[in-house]
Amino acid sequence: MTKNELLSSFTLPNGVTLKNRVVMAPMTNFSSNQDGTVTEEEVNYYAHRSAGVSMVITACTNVTRNGQGFPGEFAAYSDDFIPSLTKLASSIKEQGAKAVLQIFHGGRMCPPDLVNGDIVSASDIPAEGSRNPVPRALSESEVEAIIDAFGETTRRAIEAGYDGVEIHGANGYLIQQFFSPHANIREDRFGGSLEKRMTFPLAIIDKVKSVVDKYATSPFIVGYRFSPEEPETPGITMGDTLALVDKLADKGLDYLHVSLQDFHSTPRRGVEDLSKTRIAYLLETINNRVPLIGVGSIYSASDAQQALETGIPLLALGRELIIDPYWVQKIADGKEESIVTAINKEKQKELVIPDPLWNAIIHTPGWFPGV
């Protein structure tokens, strides 16, 4: 795909047109207020990165009070947060990008000090690692209440002026916990076989879509993010994910979004050919039924070029848009050579990066190039 194709428009299944193929990936920034409202710094951080890309997927927001996964995370579990959510949506849309709210529940990955009550999950199995708390298994009625909470948060996103929501079924959080044979050993309709472990994610999609049908007055984007594999044994394999993706591709979603550290990574297990990339497997399984967003260590223009040559229609940039907020504009202006691909430790203010996120970047060696 050429530069022109990277900058060409793309129309999602619901008729919403994206002005180019570059999306800002959802990234936690730890920078919200203690009460769960967005800060001015956070709003400015998003606004500064929203002019070039076609769509901004926000950091995750918790759909229930006890679903918070990080300190400094903005909340969406009650109507009280609609003004805060509106402020963020407006800052993104004013720059010309579509604003998509990523909605989630942290499940067993919630830090105990952020939860008022029990840490909960599909089953009472802690995440691997010595310090992780043992969660309480949710009752069926509690599972239903969380499904409803995803719907209610979608309604708030519509009221706050977002263009869409992304259901966060990736990175080890509650939706993935239900799909995982590591985290889910339930014997009711929400667990057991591979098919039954899909019940919770599919029910959330149905709920979200029904809320969109009821409340949205114009086309509203619904996407779903997933992680292809888990390192644990037992854990989600590439084969499991392809079975899920085959189902997801027929759910009338506007896009699927794979969570990868490296765009060109290959499967661990669960498929015949371990040398074929995960992206290749996913594109083959989806077979043009729904657009796929690819992501993972794409920094330079040539990285993006290589990624698009796989046939993927949309690319998400995460760390790279923190490093260089003008990435898309530089490509449009024919200045690819001036793209910055490592963080400049002297330029926090110029890059409009809030202190909590900046501190996390600077104190996590290897997370960002240049640190």
d(CA 107, CA 345): 34
d(CA 11, CA 19): 9
Q: Mean pLDDT by 10-residue block, N- to C-terminus, for the chain (371 residues)?
A: 83 98 98 98 98 98 98 98 98 98 98 95 94 96 98 99 99 98 98 97 98 98 98 97 98 98 98 98 98 98 96 98 98 96 97 98 96 94
- Please report whether residue 368 resides in a domain: no
d(CA 203, CA 165): 15
10 Å CB burial of residue 333 (0-12, 13-18, 19+) is exposed
- Please report whether residue 212 resides in a domain: yes
- Please report whether residue 81 resides in a domain: yes
Where in the sequence is the domain holding 216, given as residue range(s)?
A: 3-362
C-alpha separations of 93 from 52, 61, 208 in Å: 12, 18, 22
Q: What integer pLDDT is reported at residue 2 of this predicted model?
A: 60
Strands 255-258, 292-295: parallel, antiparallel or unpaired by DSSP? parallel
Q: What is the DSSP letter of 75?
A: B
Find the CATH number of the domain harbouring 132: 3.20.20.70
Number of domains forming the structure of the chain: 1
- Please report whether residue 29 resides in a domain: yes
- Please report whether residue 369 resides in a domain: no
- Please report whether residue 370 resides in a domain: no
Strands 10-11, 17-18: parallel, antiparallel or unpaired by DSSP? antiparallel
Q: What integer pLDDT is reported at residue 1 of this predicted model?
A: 47
- Please report whether residue 268 resides in a domain: yes
d(CA 239, CA 243): 6
Q: What is the pTM of this model?
A: 0.98
d(CA 34, CA 75): 10
- Please report whether residue 285 resides in a domain: yes
